[in-house]
Amino acid sequence: MKGVQTSGWVVDAVGALLVGGALLLSAWFGIVQTAEARTALRDTRKQIATSGQMLAALDVQREKQRRLLQEHERVLKELGGGSQPWTAEEYLQTVASLAKKYDVRVVQHKQLGERQYPGLGEQLYSFHVQGSTKNLWLLLRAIEEIHAWADVSYLKLESGGGKANRMAAITVSMFFEQDQNAPSQNAAGKP
């Protein structure tokens, strides 16, 4: 049988080439891939360190915000804006006692209406008062200093009667918390 005869050196050369290629391929994966893995590992460690620093900074900020919130809650409580807002009756009684204290006569008071905003309601009250100019200003300042969710929203000093006996119209807006889903109303109190 005649076949292709190959010499031993060709088989040896092909085998050597295959082994050499395998060695080069394993060296490539061993050296280059290891270097890339080291770079990826180093980058990951840097990211972990940076994340740790960011987390520490956020913890510091959270603590500052917690202290600031406590301070604001303390001030809000001192100013009467805490979770126990005044009732309209308490507020009106306080205004009446201040008027008496400053020798100002309340001629008339009435509820004007209510406005609703998302999360906030406003109740308007009108006062017609009579007294000296000085006492009217003292009453006005005292009303503004009441630690309630209320403010003077309108003032009209009427002429006549002299300094000793002036008339004034005062409108007070008293605010209260509303349900967030309450419908808003315009200034006339209509939806």
Each residue's pLDDT tens digit, 122-159? 889 999 998 888 888 898 899 888 877 788 888 888 87
Residue 5 has pLDDT above 70, yes or no: no
List of residues 6+ apart from 72 with CB closer than 8 A: none
Do 158 and 99 reside in the same domain of the chain? Answer: yes
What pLDDT score was predicted for residue 19? 82
Chosen domain end from 28, 43, 78 = 78
| Residue 33 confidence class, pLDDT cut points 50, 70, 90 | low
Domain count, the chain: 2
- Helix and strand numbers (H, E) in the chain are 3, 4
The answer to whether residue 189 is domain-embedded is no
Residue 164 has pLDDT above 80, yes or no: no
Question: What pTM does this model have?
Answer: 0.49
Dihedral pair phi/psi, residue 189, rounded to 5°? 85, 15
Average pLDDT value for the chain? 79
pLDDT-wise least confident of 89-93, 146-150, 177-181, 186-190: 186-190
What percentage of the chain reaches a pLDDT higher than 90? Answer: 9
pLDDT-wise least confident of 46-50, 76-80, 111-115, 165-169: 76-80
Chosen domain end from 27, 51, 78 = 78
Domain range for 12 is 8-78
Do 93 and 69 reside in the same domain of the chain? Answer: no
Do 74 and 95 reside in the same domain of the chain? Answer: no
The answer to whether residue 54 is domain-embedded is yes
Do 109 and 64 reside in the same domain of the chain? Answer: no
Alpha carbon distance 130, 158 (integer Å): 10
pLDDT (mean) for 59-82 = 81
Q: How far is CA 170 from CA 81, 86, 140, in A?
A: 22, 19, 9
Q: Which residue has the tokens 């980058």?
A: 43
Do 37 and 108 reside in the same domain of the chain? Answer: no
What pLDDT score was predicted for residue 37? 73
HSE-CB for 7 with a 13 A CA cutoff: 3
